[in-house]
Structure 1
Amino acid sequence: MFRQFVRSFTLGLVMAASATAVMAEDAVKTLNFGIISTESSQNLKQDWQPVLDDMSKKLGIKINAFFAPDYAGVIEGMRFNKVQFAWVGNKSAIEAVDRANSEVFAQTVNADGTLGYYSMISVHKDSPYQTVEDVLKNAKNLNFGIGDPNSTSGFLVPSYYVFAQNNVNPKTAFKTVRGANHETNILAVANKQVDAAVHSSDVLDRIKARQAETASQLRQIWKSPLIAADPLVWRKDLPADLKNKIKDFFISYGKNGPDAAREKAQLNKLTLGGFQDSSNAQLKPIRQLELFKEKVKIEADVALNADEKKVKLDDINRKLNDIAKS
């Protein structure tokens, strides 16, 4: 009798949980898709809105574009469930995973089929500076443009490869340093408002397509190693069936169905070839990069005594080992 009660009770819980899941998905009438501020909201909305409109029709759910003045705004939106899924960079994806109950579910694929992009530093085509070393040697006389602190290509990658490895603190090395999105940095170099600036290769490609004359004013003096293509993230607490529908939409977009050609043309405006399945694993190299950058900083810190330095370095090495094993 008791066993029968337990079985009935357990079955009831399962059915209730299933009903709750169904109700949860049925209750979702609107979703907000976060878009990081790599360019002006006007340009981003122009390129992303048709994709979101297609998703609204496919899912039967209103999909709104969510813009914020900086990357942190999208992350905070996800943290407080004002944003349910988003296109972000790898660095901001780490913030979303660690602070906003989120996970990576897909990544972008470039129009040529490659799975990455580059951080770049450009000067005006008439600049006397030919290399990044020239810029660093003359930094105290130069105005420099850097990216959002949560940007992978705009901040993290150049912070490590250009500044940390050359033992340079950009905040004090340059005459002035200003932070802005990739598009703004490109325009600032073209208009000689800064002497050099960081930007990503994919945003430069979009500027070339829209404003060829502006892009022609720049000359690249540094290019990073390949960075993994931008991830898409969603909140973990989205209903499972809805997650499957969202992922299926992205993975198949521009590839299958009677509208594939039109969808492909829309992806081309985003300089994308499509999307593919991914996970938090794609963030491992960026996590390692952050720790390496911190390690270089600690090793160069003369204010730390030997014991303090050892404790901090041991902690970083432990974290690096944990990432390698995960």
Structure 2
Amino acid sequence: MQATVAVYRAHCTSAAFSLWFSAGLPMMARRTAALAWRCLVALLLGCQLAALAQTPGPAATFPPGATPLRFGILPLGGAFESRNDWEPMLADLSRGLGRPVSMLSVSSYEALEQAIQRDQVDMAFLSGKMALDAVTQRRMNVVAQVTRHDGLPGYRALLLARKTGPRSTLQNLLAEPERWRLARGETRSVSGFIVPQLQLFLPNHIVMETRFASEMVGTHQATALAVANGEADVATNNTADFERFRLQFPAEAERLQVIWESELIPHAQIVVRRDYSPEFQKKVQDFLLAYARAKGPRGDAERAVLKSLHDLAGFLPADNSSLLPAAKLAYQLARQSAMTAQFVSEAARQARLQRIENGYAEQVAALRTTAP
């Protein structure tokens, strides 16, 4: 089934490219045809997502009845794109642990969070708020944190706009947000919502959900395409995903510019369900820390896998305390939102602020208790 989908996906990509570059069509017709084809491909492949999302590796490799380790991944580009990106590494993880590993690749943060709530995920690649909720509410532990080739301890949130036109500068955006069409990430997305709201919009008395002319919510790839294709005026994004976007959509990326960037945001974490023994969690951590570190052909192959996987360089040891920056971001956003919101009385506002303080203190205490 996976091979059939891969062949079909390649065929669809080829057809889409042929439509895109058809010389016999005007530019607008080519653009419309390409967008329509992408939507059709997404619809057809999406129908198979449920069947494919948790398909384990080759059954012959493992003892009969071996239970798969269910791995959940954030929808960075799209469900199937993320799945293809992660498959090689998860195959290596399966061999390293000596048990099958299945993948849950979904189309939204909410779908992944619901799967975690239903105990359908044993291990996951999560960032910021989702990793924080998984540890503090869903009985999971951080075992590692990703690192990238640039060597920085994190990435930055971005705002993208078109290079030309009346809505192309940060000054104009802040002056008249109600005239701009916004494309943003889900509310659980650190770079797609939380950090832009906290570090830029709320300090300028702009609430993202209510002040813009219109709003669309999607992946970082979708929001960047929306601005490039004139369907939105500004999009939230981040440095890592925009680098990837430049490689995948060079023509569209050339139309875009960065008009704002945030402070550094810590990289994503790998979390494992706390139900697994400390020994098993340590085994997973040891595999991740050693991955792509060896010399020779095997190490080169693993480094190539990580390079194609969002330009990762490897994994660093981490525990739940690595989520303290994410907890602080969530606390700051909640507090700033309470300060700017309308309440029936000042006493009600103060009560809300006190609950936020108490919740943050509890989170910090829980994150500093890092034993599995």
| Fold-level similarity (TM above 0.5) | yes
Once the 2 structures are TM-superposed, how far is the Cα of residue 144 of structure 1 from its aligned partner? 0.5
Question: 2: CA distance between counterparts of 1:167 and 1:290?
Answer: 18
* 2:361 equivalent to 1:291: no
Given the superposition, is the C-alpha separation of residues 249 and 310 from structure 1 closer, same or farther in structure 2, using an over 3 Å criterion? same
- The answer to whether the 8 Å contact 2:167/2:180 transfers is no
What secondary structure does 1:263 align onto? helix
Task: Tell me which of 261, 264, 286 is aligned to 1:248.
Answer: 286
Is the 2:148–2:314 contact (alpha carbons within 8 Å) kept by the matching residues of 1?
A: yes
2:305 maps to 1:266: yes
Q: Deviations over 1:209-250 (max 9, x none)?
A: 223222222100010100000111111111333222211111
Q: Quote the residue 2:240 is aligned against.
A: 202
Q: Quote the RMSD (CA, aligned, Å).
A: 2.1
Residues 201/299 of structure 1: CA separation in 2 closer, same or farther (3 Å cut): same
Q: Which amino acid is the alignment partner of residue 317 of structure 2?
A: D
**Sequence identity, in percent?**
26
Query: Could you tell me which residue of structure 2 aligns to residue 309 of structure 1?
Result: 349
Q: Point out the more displaced range, 102-111 or 77-86.
A: 77-86
1:191 to 229, 232, 248: 229
State yes or no: 1:133 paired with 2:171.
Answer: yes
Letter in 1 for 2:335: K
Counterpart of 1:314, as a letter, is Q
The unaligned stretches of length 5 or more in structure 1 are: 1-25
Q: Which amino acid aligns with 2:300?
A: A
Q: Which amino acid aligns with 1:169?
A: V
Partner of 2:315: 275
Q: Relative to structure 2, which stretch is displaced further, 121-130 or 177-186?
A: 121-130
Secondary structure of 2:102 counterpart: strand
CA contact (8 A) 2:78 2:107 kept: no
The residue correspondences of 1:93-104 to structure 2 (distance < 5 A) are: 93-104=131-142
Give the C-alpha shift of residue 321 in structure 1.
5.2
- Hey, what's the Cα distance between the residues in 2 that align with 1:302 and 1:203? 35
Do structure 1's residue 54 and structure 2's residue 92 form an aligned pair?
yes
Bigger shift: residues 174-183 or 234-243: 234-243
Q: Number of aligned pairs?
A: 302
Mapped to 1, the partners of 2:81 and 2:341 lie a distance apart of 43
Aligned to 1:149: 187
Measure, in 2, the Cα distance between the counterparts of 1:307 and 1:295: 15
Is the 1:108–1:115 contact (alpha carbons within 8 Å) kept by the matching residues of 2? no
Going from structure 1 to structure 2, the CA distance change for 1:312 and 1:35 (only over 3 Å counts) comes to same
Larger Rg: 1
Give the whole-Å Cα distance in 2 for the aligned partners of 1:293 and 1:139: 20
CA distance in 1: counterparts of 2:344 and 2:198, whole angstroms: 21
User: Distance between the aligned counterparts of 1:162 and 1:201, measured in 2?
Assistant: 17
Q: How much does 1:299 deviate?
A: 2.2
- Deviations for 1:114-161, whole angstroms, at most 9, x for unmatched residues? 221111110012233454332132222221011012111111111111
**Aligned counterparts of 2:148 and 2:333: Cα–Cα separation in 1:** 28
The one-letter code matched in structure 2 to 1:82 is Q
Stretches of structure 2 that go unaligned for 5 or more consecutive residues are 1-63
Question: 2:143 is matched with which residue: 75, 93, 105?
Answer: 105
Per-residue CA deviations over 1:155-178 (Å, capped at 9, x if unaligned) read 111111122212212222111111
Contact 2:155 2:266 in 1 (8 A): yes
Choose the corresponding residue for 1:83, options 96, 107, 121.
121
- Scaled by the length of structure 1, what TM-score is found? 0.86
Aligned to 2:193, the other structure's residue is in SS state helix
Task: For residue 117 of structure 1, give the secondary structure of its aligned residue in structure 2.
Answer: strand
The residue matched to 1:51 in structure 2 has which SS?
Answer: helix
Change (3 A) 1:46 1:185: same
Which amino acid in structure 2 is aligned with residue 297 of structure 1?
S
Distance in 1 between residues matched to 2:124 and 2:363, nearest whole Å: 24
Q: Map 1:36-47 onto structure 2 (within 5 A).
A: 36-47=74-85
Contact 1:78 1:85 in 2 (8 A): no
Checking the alignment, whether the CA contact within 8 Å between 1:123 and 1:219 is kept in structure 2 is: yes
Aligned-residue offset at 1:307:
2.1
Whole-angstrom CA distance in 2 between matches of 1:90 and 1:309: 26
**After alignment, is 35-44 or 237-246 more displaced?**
237-246
Structure 1 CA distance for aligned equivalents of residues 291 and 123 of structure 2:
17
The AA in structure 2 aligned to 1:88 is L
**Deviation of 1:323 (Å):** 5.7
With CA pairs under 8 Å and 6+ residues apart, which has the higher RCO, 1 or 2? 1
